[in-house]
Structure 1
Amino acid sequence: MFGQRAVQQSMRRLAAQRPAQQTLSRFAAPAAVATNTHYLQYRQAATQTISSEDQSKANEILNRQRLNRPVSPHLSIYRPQITWYGSALNRITASILSGGFYVFGVAYLVAPLLGWHLETAVMAASVAAWPLALKVLVKMSLAFPFTYHSLNGVRHLAWDMGKTLNNKQVQRTGWAVVGLSIVSSAILAFV
């Protein structure tokens, strides 16, 4: 109760003072402090009430103006390019890699509590029992995000050094990264 009364009285005193005498030296610019001109400044704003009839007319004008505004173009009006697909695939593979690490890490930590066996020997024995086609498919789907993201990272490092930045080279390196990623993930899948 006492704290509230003290704050209210302080606020009343500040409001009763002339605005030119209220200082804000903590927030003032150094030049204003040096010249002792660091007072609060107030600007009076002119306000006017608008009748509901005038407000509805203003809303109608605003709605008509909105109908004439240009609509921003969507991606569907542009011709797809390898840079789009490469950028999207780089982000997707990064999400798959980081999400996979987190999911496997948490699963590995809680495995003893749940009775799961995620030890290397158990996982290797279970994968060895799979058919060859399933092994290749799983290995390739695990290897592709690593290879693509790594090779695309090298491509971005080349860009950071100012190499292969013209349109033709960007397209070539984009397709080269996709091709090399598929080939290298297939090689890793058959190893």
Structure 2
Amino acid sequence: MSKSPATQDFARRERPLSPHLSVYRPPITMTMSIIHRITGGALYFGTLLVAAWLMAAASSQSTFDRVNWAFGTWLGQLVLFGYSWVLMHHMLGGVRHLVWDTGAGLEKHASSRIAWATLAGSILLTALIWIAGYMVRGA
């Protein structure tokens, strides 16, 4: 039994290669979706830090002072800065999805602009929060 001409032609053609990661550039909407999921997971860790701080505040003065000292170190400040960025980014990502749920901003260019605005807004809000915090502390 011989193969049909269409089957023979298909067997001779080379299969296309998948785009390699060095060639493929993920769209900003996909990147922001992935980051939204990562920040959602990171919020669990940050919420544990807030809970630890609240439990220390509810316990003794020495425990509260130790937790405040840990959060005041450069590493603690870096973690808190990261947590505040994660919180702002995840919040704005949620607002982005809420807007999309209404049917608005689903066009390719509009969704890309909204995704970039989410990133820029999270950076701006984080900077404003930390500037306001240092101004209130008088540092």
TM-score, normalized by the shorter chain, greater than 0.5: yes
Secondary structure in 2 aligned to 1:163? coil
Equivalent AA in structure 2 for residue 124 of structure 1: N
Correspondence for 1:16? none
Structure 2 counterparts to residues 4-19 of structure 1, below 5 A: none
Cα separation, 2, equivalents of 1:174 and 1:143: 19
Secondary structure in 1 aligned to 2:32? helix
- Does the 8 Å CA contact 2:89/2:118 hold for their aligned counterparts? yes
Correspondence for 1:127? 71
> Structure 1 vs Structure 2: percent identity of aligned residues?
28
C-alpha distance 152-119 of structure 1, shift in aligned 2 (>3 A): farther
- How far apart are residue 98 of structure 1 and its match? 2.4
Cα separation, 2, equivalents of 1:101 and 1:90: 16
- Does the 8 Å CA contact 2:46/2:83 hold for their aligned counterparts? no
Of the two structures, which has the highest relative contact order with CA contacts closer than 8 Å and spacing of 6 or more? 2
Determine if the alignment matches structure 1 residue 147 to structure 2 residue 88. yes
- How far apart are residue 137 of structure 1 and its match? 3.0
Which structure would you say has the larger Rg?
1
Structure 2 counterparts to residues 72-151 of structure 1, below 5 A: 73-74=18-19, 76=21, 77-101=23-47, 119-128=63-72, 130=73, 137-151=78-92
- Does the 8 Å CA contact 1:97/1:145 hold for their aligned counterparts? yes
- Does the 8 Å CA contact 1:86/1:174 hold for their aligned counterparts? yes
Instruction: Give the RMSD, CA atoms, in angstroms.
Output: 3.7
Correspondence for 2:3? none
> Normalising by structure 1, what TM-score?
0.48
* Aligned residue pair count: 116
- Does the 8 Å CA contact 1:136/1:189 hold for their aligned counterparts? no
- How far apart are residue 138 of structure 1 and its match? 3.1
Cα separation, 2, equivalents of 1:125 and 1:174: 37
Correspondence for 1:185? 126
Deviations 1:129-158 (A, max 9, x none): x36xx5653332111111101101000010
Deviations 1:90-149 (A, max 9, x none): 1111111124446886x89xx9xxxxx995453224434x36xx5653332111111101
Cα separation, 1, equivalents of 2:13 and 2:32: 36
Cα separation, 2, equivalents of 1:94 and 1:161: 22
- How far apart are residue 81 of structure 1 and its match? 1.7
- Does the 8 Å CA contact 1:83/1:174 hold for their aligned counterparts? yes
Deviations 1:19-49 (A, max 9, x none): xxxxxxxxxxxxxxxxxxxxxxxxxxxxxxx
Equivalent AA in structure 2 for residue 159 of structure 1: W
Identify, as 1 or 2, the structure richer in helix: 2
C-alpha distance 183-157 of structure 1, shift in aligned 2 (>3 A): same
Listed as ranges, the gaps of 5+ residues in structure 2 are 1-9, 134-139
